[in-house]
Amino acid sequence: METASLKRIRAAYIDSLAEIYQVDKSVWEGMHQLAKDAVEPGWWSKYKDVFSPAGLPSFEVEASFIRVYEAQVIPGLLQTPGYTRGVFLGANAYSEERIQRHIQARMERQEILNRLHPPEYAAVIDEGALRRHSGDASNMREQLHHLVEMATRSNIAIQVLPFSAGLHAANLGSFQIMEFPESNDPTIGYSETPTSTLYVEDLEEIRRYDAMWREASSAALTVAETIDFVHDVAESMRD
């Protein structure tokens, strides 16, 4: 995984290598495509006003396994546009234009779950996030029904941590853990505050993140129980 600036690999150099190693046309075309992709900025580069230069999407797009614990709101990769709008309206700090930018960026960020080979995604969501409205009841029901739909995907596991589970290690705050397919790419932990974001690679800190997530997952409802639970919460909401 490379997050630093990249230098262009010249086409002529690729052609020379292809000739030396006598690769067939399909491999040659693949090499040129890889070189092209390596220097093209990611989609998130057009949202510099939303994401930092080394923003979360640049890691998510390469991750093979993403784990999330969310205490306050529905995780960003699982939000509906209406729910996202409610989140930023609730902050009382954004213009309509900026809210739209955040919604667009978040919807594009979610595309990693829709691609041909999506990452494995496991989310533990506190019950409070389900019951805390973002917008009106209709908007919230739409969000919860979307959660149920996403939970049926083979690469996605969603668990609700009910109030009845009591206190647990992850009560300290929301966080995300990202693992990558290449063995030399370190696992990354991510958390945020209202004014900053934190990325960690230190092995001991990652172990703590992992332990907190596993404890929360063990205390949470199963995926099947979660689907029933979320459906019941949605049906209990009235306009």
Give 137's contacts (C-beta < 8 A, 6+ positions apart). Answer: 237, 238, 239
Structure tokens belonging to residue 21 = 């190693």
In the prediction, which pLDDT does 172 show? 82
In the prediction, which pLDDT does 8 show? 43
pLDDT 10s digits, 145-187: 999 999 999 999 999 999 999 988 888 899 999 999 988 899 9
71 with 15, same domain: the answer is: no
- Name, of 26-30, 129-133, 193-197, the range with top average pLDDT: 129-133
Question: pTM of the entire structure?
Answer: 0.82
68 with 183, same domain: the answer is: yes
d(Cα 81, Cα 103) in Å, to the nearest integer? 6
Question: Does 6 have pLDDT greater than 60?
Answer: no
15 with 72, same domain: the answer is: no
Greatest extent of the chain over all pairs of C-alpha atoms, in Å: 70
- Fill in the DSSP letter of residue 8: P
Judge contact between 174 and 69, C-beta under 8 A.
yes
Query: Is residue 198 classed as helix, strand or coil in its secondary structure?
Result: strand
Structural domain containing residue 14: 9-40
Question: Is residue 1 one of the residues assigned to a domain?
Answer: no
Question: Is residue 148 one of the residues assigned to a domain?
Answer: yes
In the prediction, which pLDDT does 222 show? 98
106 with 184, same domain: the answer is: yes
